Structure 1
Amino acid sequence: MPAMISYDGLRSRRAALVLTAVFLTVPASAWAQQTTEDTADIRVTGHRDPEGLLPDQTAPKAVSEISADFIVKQAPTLNAFQLVNLLPGANVASSDPYGLSTSSSLTLRGLGQDQIGVLMEGAPQNDIGYYYAYPSQFADPGNLRTITLAQGSVDIDSPTVGGAGGLLSLTLDDPKAAPQALLDVSLGSYDARRVFARVDTGEIGRTGVKAFVSYSYTRADNWRGAGFDTRRHVDAKLLRDWGDGNRASLALSYNNANASSYPSPTLADWQAQGRGFNYDARYTAGNTNYWRLYRAPFRNLYASAPVHLKLNDRLTLDSTTYLQFGYGNSPYGTQLATTGNFLGNEELTQPIVLPGAVDGVATVLGNYTGDQMRTGNVTKLTLQAGIHRITGGLWFDYGTDRVTQTYTTVDPDGNPTDRWGYRDRAIQTADGRLLAYENQRTVTVTKGFFLADSIALTPRLTLDAGFKGVNLLRNGRNYLPGPQTRVRKDSFAALPRAAVHCALSDRQQIFANITTNFRTPNEFTLYDSYDGGVVSTRGTNALKNEYSVSQELGYRYIGPNLSASATAFHYKFRNRQLATVIDVGGAQVNSTLNAGGQTTYGVDAEIDYRPAKGVSVYLSGEYLHARIDDDLPVGGDFLPTRGKHAVSSPSVQFGAGGTYDDGHLFGSIAGKYLGPQYATFMNDERIAGYATLDLSVGLHLADWIDGKRTDLRVNAINVTNPDVLAGVQAVSTNARDVVGRGGIVISGYAPAYYIGSGAAVIATVSRSF
């Protein structure tokens, strides 16, 4: 769904210790498809991590992973962003301890959520027009086998655009070989309750096909302010594997939720009201701040059908076909008059009908709806020819996005007559047209090709080289009356890359890589929009694509009781895209500008120490230096931003945790510290650093009952309950008035922030049948 649709998340006899995340693995489809066959086989003995974390790794890039063994011990409502919180470079801002709200964000190495590619079973989850991904819509954690986080780049065959910040990949669990069922029941703070049920069929007849289907229902009151969230979710997967590694599957994920979008304060709001900055619990006539006017309903269906075929001893075929549908509304309260309205640049001379209007004004529900459909396929052939492993493939993606801003009537008690914002139930003009502030449809067609070669120069030294070409075409129509009707932007990017990996010994590795990424401007930048019959947002197709070059240099150690990695990275951006304000004929108009360059460098590091069987201690950290290279053009002048810190880019962050599991008792502790973050490009407003802490304890009861999995666990989320701002929800160029390079006074405007989630405790009983 569009980024403005904020689907936009998170929320005693023996002590126990757990880490939350981490840990190096790489998908088989990595850039030039490096695999363990390409390098020396690494085997170690000693104390294995109790969660199977930090698996042996040979990828020529930074990558971390959490497994099902770890995920199943965490709070069952957490979304994928919250689950990767401890990984190096991951900056997660959660407004809700349970991960149900649309108000959350993830940045990696200072790069925002719209710069991070997200895949599930090889299918893209990012919004087609705005590049955002919404973690509350993803598959249930109990059905995930792994969550893989590549902090610096996407795989060459990944069907994503705009992955300079990295790649988050979700892999569903395979159906079980034997029939079984699983039931989870959870109760927690804020009247939270959740039920999760999964059924595995085992082999269906003699077809070789296995399947599972699951259903979950979650409800929780808002931890601050009035309101509550509900989430209904279905996951399913069919799988058939045969022969020498051949397999075909179909994965489905359906989500239907009605989630709260917690209000985001400015710094002045926060200082005045703190956690009391909320929507109103009761409705009074004319009130546009009533909580029922800010609940975002959305539903989505994702389908992915990956196939892997071994055509002969040297040639394999991989193909993934995907399909997704999504519809949702990000509503808000507003007031509308019966007269004085415009449709685009056309003044409406006849009054509109507004039930309940007083003195010609009525409180209404403002709708921001998105209706998307997307389908595509990525197919590749891989040939092993001597020391060469050659991969070539094609990617095609077709999507439509219908976006409208309309109005819906509200009854005398403040209840919207249609919370979904359907166009056929929205307020009409006197002559029967849809009264809309925005009304547009965009078709996006993406075509790509890639070619890569992984060359095993020696048993320990591998060189990778690859090239990807991507063409992205947007065709759209603006249905509002005015000078703009059709829009079009056609872009092509050439994306070369290279990497080298060397196994120094059975335990030590070094690697280096260079990659390129690009991102076209989002679809919103193409369209004019209107306010009071005049242009308020100037659409343009002249913006240049953002382009970046990144490098990594890394070291890994895989020992019997200790594993570690450290990666130095460097990014160089040009044509960074920035939403800002320009002066048009004396009017201040919202627009998107080329913000020039940015340079980023830093170091990620992580250590996993296993001093005894069932015990693991984990540390992670990042140093980040992110600077703006150019002055920003604003309002006919230039803001003096050269050399300033990039926004949402804390210079330091640290994670620490540990796990304990002796087969009967298990537990965890996980803490994260994030340094201060700037919210403006002038660095004239920032939030302070803060720390969070999660704890859990549980019992494996199977041996004491009937041998079938029976677990009891209690998760304490954000136990220290810090009263903080957790992240930047909306940046600004400058919070205070600034004199530009040319002497013009550039007015400031306040950024907005996420309020950090409160503490919560949730207890879960899991039982297999």
Structure 2
Amino acid sequence: MRLPLRQICLSCTVFVGLSVVGEAKAAAEAQGTGTGKGHGTAARATPSSSGLSSSVIGQFTPQSEEITVTSHPVSANGVTNRTPGGGLMPKQTAPRSQSGITRDFIAKLSPTSNITSMLGNLPGVTVSSQDPLGMTGDHITMRGLDQSQIGYLFEGAPLADPINYQPYTTMLVDSENLGSVTVSQGSPDLNAPLYNAVGGQITATEINPSHKAGGFLDLSGGTHSANKEFIRLETGDIGHTGIRGFVSFSHSGYNNFRGPGGLFRYHLDSKFVKEWGEGNSISAIFSYNRQESTPWRNPTAAQWKQYGWGFSYNGVWSPGNSTYYKLARSNLNSQLVVLPMHFTLADNLKLHVTPYYVHQFGPSLSGENIPASGGYYGTEQYGDLNRGTTVSGNILTSSRDPWNQKTGGLNISADWNVTSTNTFSFGWWYAYTTHEELSDFSPVYANGQGWSGDVIRVNGKILSGYDLNFMQQVNTLFIADTQRLLNDKLTISAGFRVAMVSRQGTNLIPGADPYKMQGNYFEPLPQFSASYQITPHDQIFMNGTTSFRAPESVEAYSQIFDPNSAHAVMQPQSLKPEYSIGEELGYRHEGKFYNFSMSLFNLNMTNHQITSTGYIPNTNTLVASPVNIGGQTSRGVQAEIGFKRWHHFSPYLSGQYLHSTFDNDFNTGSGLLPTAGKIAVGAPKFTGAVGLNYDDGTFFGNFQLRYVDSQYTTFMNDEKIPSYITSDIGLGYRMKSFGRIKHPQVQLNIMNIGDNHYRSSAASYTSNAKAAVMKNGATKSGSSPTYMVGGNFAAMVSISTGF
């Protein structure tokens, strides 16, 4: 791997700089000039709002913490400096590989960060950025599996797209309201409302409202006109009702870091909590998001070599220019409601109920030239459109995809303490989803302005490439039993879950075959785990888990048409459910000076589906395109260590070795490519991270450096992304409270401090980039994958305060 000299120098400078700051501050305190350090009482745990049972196999339900501080609180944004590794290694007890982050880490990142962008330091987690501020996109891999194969839970509800499984974490919650994130790198919870988590689970929780009325204000600005304005208002305890809550609002935006265009986002969060008795609580969580951005263009390797950062949408308008940036827009809008409820029905019986509703909708827009006459509506040829301005026989249109999806669900579980050492758990999850997607076209005006509602029609019908109406129902049932033996040192759990997914839909485009599509899946999913507490500080664990994923995306069931083609440009595939069997053996230590964890893992998959995002031929419209590669085996070891504060420093290190291979030859439809034994795509052999945090209550800073090994992007291993290193730094200063102003602070975040230009991940995979000989002797021509480009240098200054 070749590292830029500037990257090495800057990394060394940051380490030395943080050390100097720490020594200078220590010397000042020794002379009596330093400020006092906060002294807090022990945290008081409140009932979790996740809606999941803590006794179920592998379950670690993050407990929301309320810190009562007797004097000198550390900060107004939730920093307590209690988590080892500067917030990167909270204590874990689940019998599986599991990592997490807390407010000690989250609050020191750029306030524009989203859930996914925060996780790149954790072992085995590879986050591929497209913008350095974390406002756009989600692309993450764990053990060679991407975000569509990872289950995402927010306050106990599954809030990823239930059909294409994209998490869209930028829509969920503002980072100022995010309490903690827990990552399970290999297996989901038995009772989690998920049916795609073959690669693990990510669980996020929101902060709890304060018992005191007040609020929090954060104003940020940075490079490329980046900005964010955030305010949260707290009600405090409302009389003697036991109710408290908050409402927050934010606006953020920037100009694109690569090419013209930009992003704006409006977001609203609210959470109200009612608590009574012992272990009874009801939470009401609401979120609204309105977001629009100019998407990034994904280059091939040749385009990256030729244009580099210059490969983007065109900033200059000309007639017929389908790559004009104002024609490319992506809208991510959502409304969500989650109502986690916990009830103590008896001393030995607890009930958890989480109803939720999610509405996600577009549209997404792109430019496309279509025939002025003689084009196609499905398989039917149309005549002269008599619309727009004709250039070389085509008219430039704004192609719109107004997807609209609604999901309602209910997750119920109960824990029955049969004896003092035995707990029986059972539950049921039901969800209903509708999805509508009718693409359309409208002519672009002479000044380059796009869609305005003037939709092109053919014989009175909207000209479209797909007119999809999709419905899905999910039912899952589970039972589990947990036995604690040897004075609670040995815990053994076994459980069984059955998942039933039913899908059906129609495509109303003329000539669509099939006109009606459906899929029904029934999967039994057993799990087993055991852990032994060797000492109060040392634990060993093992587990065996199974999980499955129903085929991804509506496009997996339906044809996609285009006016430029007499037949479908994308065909549905006969995809079987993805199924995984995983085993882990691990050890963790939670001690006076540091926390440590290490685990060995093995994952075997059948019907493994590689998720590839591709363009509809001759267009700028992106769709998900799943490909069944057959079996895949992933084996490796991961480890992390986080040190507790020593002279205000908290170091952290993590790493993973991964060996992931394809088990079968790839069927191209015309022959078999010899891919068995090849390294799996998107599976870097080595990944690692180093973190260093300093916080004395007044001055604070952190440094993060991440290494990602090279990754293959074709099944034949004939094209790959080079390895790369990125590093970030944060520096800040907190002031003393005065009057109603609580701990105002100024914070500087610098991302990609070496301004490393790199390809961060594949946007689309292919079987082979170069011509390859199949087993039948025929030659298959190559096609290049496309790539996401990593975010460049960026800086953000934030001024915040409580009140």
Alignment TM-score > 0.5, same fold:
yes
Are the aligned partners of 1:328 and 1:369 in contact in 2 as well (CA < 8 Å)? yes
Residue 468 (structure 1) aligned to one of 469, 490, 497: 497
2:306 aligned counterpart, secondary structure: helix
Whole-Å Cα distance in 2 between the matches of residues 244 and 646 of structure 1?
A: 50
2:514 aligned counterpart, secondary structure: coil
**Aligned 1:409-558 pairs, distance under 5 A:** 409-418=443-452, 425=453, 427-458=455-486, 459-482=488-511, 483-522=513-552, 523-531=554-562, 532-540=565-573, 542-558=574-590
Q: Which runs of 5+ in 2 are unaligned?
A: 1-16, 23-47, 62-80, 614-623
**Which deviates more, 593-602 or 69-78?**
593-602
Find out whether 1:32 has 2:57 as its counterpart: yes
Whole-Å Cα distance in 2 between the matches of residues 580 and 129 of structure 1?
A: 15
**Which deviates more, 352-361 or 67-76?**
352-361
Are the aligned partners of 1:16 and 1:697 in contact in 2 as well (CA < 8 Å)? no
2:555 aligned counterpart, secondary structure: helix
Are the aligned partners of 1:101 and 1:262 in contact in 2 as well (CA < 8 Å)? no
1:318 aligned counterpart, secondary structure: strand
Whole-Å Cα distance in 1 between the matches of residues 742 and 428 of structure 2?
A: 46
Whole-Å Cα distance in 2 between the matches of residues 533 and 371 of structure 1?
A: 27
**Aligned 1:560-709 pairs, distance under 5 A:** 560-578=592-610, 594-610=628-644, 612-703=646-737, 708-709=742-743
- Cα distance, 1:73 vs. partner? 1.1
Whole-Å Cα distance in 1 between the matches of residues 86 and 710 of structure 2?
A: 32
Letter in 1 for 2:543: N
- Cα distance, 1:440 vs. partner? 0.8
Whole-Å Cα distance in 2 between the matches of residues 417 and 759 of structure 1?
A: 34
Which residue of structure 1 lines up, in the alignment, with residue 149 of structure 2?
A: 115
Aligned length: 725
1:465 aligned counterpart, secondary structure: strand
Change in CA separation of 1:280 and 1:306 when aligned onto 2, cut-off 3 Å: same
Letter in 1 for 2:672: F
1:530 aligned counterpart, secondary structure: coil
Letter in 1 for 2:132: P
Change in CA separation of 1:201 and 1:165 when aligned onto 2, cut-off 3 Å: same
- Cα distance, 1:123 vs. partner? 1.1
1:114 aligned counterpart, secondary structure: helix
Are the aligned partners of 1:16 and 1:696 in contact in 2 as well (CA < 8 Å)? no
- Cα distance, 1:368 vs. partner? 2.8
Find out whether 1:60 has 2:95 as its counterpart: yes
**Which deviates more, 282-291 or 650-659?**
282-291
- Cα distance, 1:173 vs. partner? 0.8
**Which deviates more, 425-434 or 258-267?**
425-434
1:154 aligned counterpart, secondary structure: coil
Are the aligned partners of 2:123 and 2:656 in contact in 1 as well (CA < 8 Å)? yes
- Cα distance, 1:426 vs. partner? 5.5
Letter in 2 for 1:197: I
Change in CA separation of 1:313 and 1:611 when aligned onto 2, cut-off 3 Å: closer
Show CA shifts across 1:516-571 (max 9, x none). 0111212321112335232333335x432111100111100111011100011100
Find out whether 1:300 has 2:328 as its counterpart: no
Whole-Å Cα distance in 2 between the matches of residues 141 and 437 of structure 1?
A: 38
Residue 236 (structure 1) aligned to one of 270, 287, 299: 270
- Cα distance, 1:83 vs. partner? 0.6
- Cα distance, 1:30 vs. partner? 6.4
Show CA shifts across 1:108-131 (max 9, x none). 111011101111111112112111
Find out whether 1:559 has 2:594 as its counterpart: no
- Cα distance, 1:230 vs. partner? 0.5
Change in CA separation of 1:613 and 1:240 when aligned onto 2, cut-off 3 Å: farther
Are the aligned partners of 1:319 and 1:379 in contact in 2 as well (CA < 8 Å)? yes
- Cα distance, 1:703 vs. partner? 4.8
Whole-Å Cα distance in 1 between the matches of residues 128 and 55 of structure 2?
A: 29
Residue 724 (structure 1) aligned to one of 758, 770, 778: 758
Are the aligned partners of 1:91 and 1:107 in contact in 2 as well (CA < 8 Å)? yes
1:119 aligned counterpart, secondary structure: strand
- Cα distance, 1:646 vs. partner? 0.4
Show CA shifts across 1:151-204 (max 9, x none). 111111111111011111110111110110111001101111110000011122
2:775 aligned counterpart, secondary structure: coil
Which residue of structure 1 lines up, in the alignment, with residue 286 of structure 2?
A: 252
**Aligned 1:169-208 pairs, distance under 5 A:** 169-208=203-242
Change in CA separation of 1:682 and 1:504 when aligned onto 2, cut-off 3 Å: same
**Which deviates more, 477-486 or 679-688?**
477-486
Whole-Å Cα distance in 1 between the matches of residues 462 and 371 of structure 2?
A: 15
Change in CA separation of 1:16 and 1:115 when aligned onto 2, cut-off 3 Å: farther
Are the aligned partners of 1:47 and 1:561 in contact in 2 as well (CA < 8 Å)? no
Whole-Å Cα distance in 2 between the matches of residues 206 and 157 of structure 1?
A: 35
Whole-Å Cα distance in 2 between the matches of residues 449 and 600 of structure 1?
A: 29
Whole-Å Cα distance in 2 between the matches of residues 52 and 460 of structure 1?
A: 28
Which residue of structure 1 lines up, in the alignment, with residue 43 of structure 2?
A: none
Residue 792 (structure 2) aligned to one of 730, 733, 758: 758
**Which deviates more, 295-304 or 689-698?**
295-304
Show CA shifts across 1:418-448 (max 9, x none). 4xxxxxx363324220111111111010001
- Cα distance, 1:709 vs. partner? 2.1
Whole-Å Cα distance in 1 between the matches of residues 484 and 59 of structure 2?
A: 10
Change in CA separation of 1:613 and 1:246 when aligned onto 2, cut-off 3 Å: farther
Identity of matched residues, %: 33
Change in CA separation of 1:47 and 1:516 when aligned onto 2, cut-off 3 Å: closer
**Which deviates more, 209-218 or 430-439?**
430-439
- Cα distance, 1:62 vs. partner? 1.1
Change in CA separation of 1:78 and 1:168 when aligned onto 2, cut-off 3 Å: same
- Cα distance, 1:340 vs. partner? 1.1
- The CA RMSD over aligned residues, in Å, is 2.2
Change in CA separation of 1:636 and 1:360 when aligned onto 2, cut-off 3 Å: closer
Show CA shifts across 1:642-662 (max 9, x none). 100000100001100111111
Find out whether 1:375 has 2:375 as its counterpart: no
Which residue of structure 2 lines up, in the alignment, with residue 9 of structure 1?
A: none
Whole-Å Cα distance in 2 between the matches of residues 496 and 698 of structure 1?
A: 48
**Which deviates more, 528-537 or 151-160?**
528-537
Whole-Å Cα distance in 1 between the matches of residues 296 and 18 of structure 2?
A: 39
Letter in 1 for 2:411: V
Which residue of structure 2 lines up, in the alignment, with residue 269 of structure 1?
A: 303
- Cα distance, 1:14 vs. partner? 7.2
Are the aligned partners of 1:164 and 1:518 in contact in 2 as well (CA < 8 Å)? yes
Are the aligned partners of 1:100 and 1:259 in contact in 2 as well (CA < 8 Å)? no
Change in CA separation of 1:593 and 1:74 when aligned onto 2, cut-off 3 Å: closer
Which residue of structure 2 lines up, in the alignment, with residue 747 of structure 1?
A: 781
- Cα distance, 1:329 vs. partner? 2.5
- Cα distance, 1:484 vs. partner? 2.6
- Cα distance, 1:738 vs. partner? 0.7
2:439 aligned counterpart, secondary structure: strand
Are the aligned partners of 1:329 and 1:369 in contact in 2 as well (CA < 8 Å)? yes
Whole-Å Cα distance in 1 between the matches of residues 585 and 442 of structure 2?
A: 55
Which residue of structure 2 lines up, in the alignment, with residue 4 of structure 1?
A: none
Which residue of structure 2 lines up, in the alignment, with residue 3 of structure 1?
A: none
Find out whether 1:97 has 2:132 as its counterpart: yes
Whole-Å Cα distance in 2 between the matches of residues 227 and 592 of structure 1?
A: 30
Are the aligned partners of 2:493 and 2:528 in contact in 1 as well (CA < 8 Å)? yes
Residue 124 (structure 1) aligned to one of 148, 158, 161: 158
